[in-house]
Chain A
Amino acid sequence: MKKYWAILTTRTQEDMAYRANYFIGALFRFLPLVTSIVLWYAVFKSMGGTHPKIEGMSYQNLIAYTALVYISRGVSSMPGMTRDICNDIKDGNLNRYIVRPINYSGYQIVYRLAHKLVFWLIAAVTFPVIFFLLRHDFTHQIQPEEWVAFIIALIIGFWIGMLFSLTIGLLAFWFLEISTFLYVISTIEYFLSGNLIPLNLFGPKMFEIVGKLPFSYEAFWPVLILLGKVAQHQLVSILLWGIGWVFFFLIVINILWFLGIRRYSAVGG
Chain B
Amino acid sequence: MSIIEVKNLTKTYLIQKRKPGVIGALKGLFSKEYTKINAVNQVSFQVEEGELVGFLGPNGAGKTTTLKMLSGILYPTLGTARVLGFLPWERKNEFRKQFALVMGQKNQLWWDLPAQESLFLNKEIYGIPSSAYYRILDEMVELLNVKQLLSVMVRELSLGERMKMELIACLLHSPRVLFMDEPTIGLDVVAQKNIRDFVQKYNKKNKITILLTSHYMNDIQALCKRVIVINYGQKIFDGPLAEIIEKFSAHKLIKIVMNNPKFSKEQLSEFGEIVEWESNKIVLKVDRNQIASASSGLLNQFEVSDITIEEIPIEDVIGEVFSNSERHMKNMVLGEAK
Contacts and interface: CB of A to CB of B under 8 A. Distances in A.
| Direct A–B contact in complex, judged by CB atoms less than 8 Å apart | yes
Interface of A: 9, 12-13, 16-17, 19
Nearest to A22: B29
Contacts of B22: 9, 12-13
A12 B26 CA distance: 10
Interface in B1-57: 18, 21-22, 24-26, 28-29
Contacts of B18: 17
Interface of B: 18, 21-22, 24-26, 28-29
Contacts of A16: 25-26, 28-29
A12 B24 CA distance: 12
Nearest to A20: B29
Nearest to A12: B22
Given A13-B22, A17-B28, A19-B29, 14 more contacts: A9-B21, A9-B22, A12-B22, A12-B25, A13-B21, A13-B24, A13-B25, A16-B25, A16-B26, A16-B28, A16-B29, A17-B18, A17-B25, A19-B28
A9 B21 CA distance: 8
Nearest to B16: A17
Contacts of A19: 28-29
Q: Which 7 A-B pairs have the closest CB atoms?
A: A16-B25, A13-B25, A19-B29, A9-B22, A16-B29, A13-B22, A17-B25
Contacts of B28: 16-17, 19
A161 B28 CA distance: 33
A9 B20 CA distance: 11
A19 B31 CA distance: 11
Contacts of A12: 22, 25
Contacts of B26: 16
A12 to B, nearest CB: 7
A133 to B, nearest CB: 26
A17 B22 CA distance: 10
A105 B329 CA distance: 52
17 contacts: A9-B21, A9-B22, A12-B22, A12-B25, A13-B21, A13-B22, A13-B24, A13-B25, A16-B25, A16-B26, A16-B28, A16-B29, A17-B18, A17-B25, A17-B28, A19-B28, A19-B29
Nearest to B26: A16
Contacts of A17: 18, 25, 28
Contacts of A9: 21-22
Nearest to A10: B22
A13 B20 CA distance: 9
A9 B28 CA distance: 15
A9 B25 CA distance: 10
Output the residue of B18, B24, B25, B29 with the most chain A CB within 10 A.
B25
A136 B18 CA distance: 45
Nearest to A17: B25
Nearest to A16: B25
Contacts of A13: 21-22, 24-25
Nearest to A13: B25
A12 B23 CA distance: 11
Contacts of B21: 9, 13
Contacts of B29: 16, 19
Contacts of B24: 13
Nearest to A19: B29
B9 to A, nearest CB: 32
A263 B25 CA distance: 41
B28 to A, nearest CB: 7
B217 to A, nearest CB: 37
A162 to B, nearest CB: 24
A55 to B, nearest CB: 45
B337 to A, nearest CB: 29
A40 to B, nearest CB: 37
B131 to A, nearest CB: 43
B270 to A, nearest CB: 58
A136 to B, nearest CB: 34
Output the residue of A9, A12, A13 with the most chain B CB within 10 A.
A13
A19 B22 CA distance: 13
Contacts of B25: 12-13, 16-17
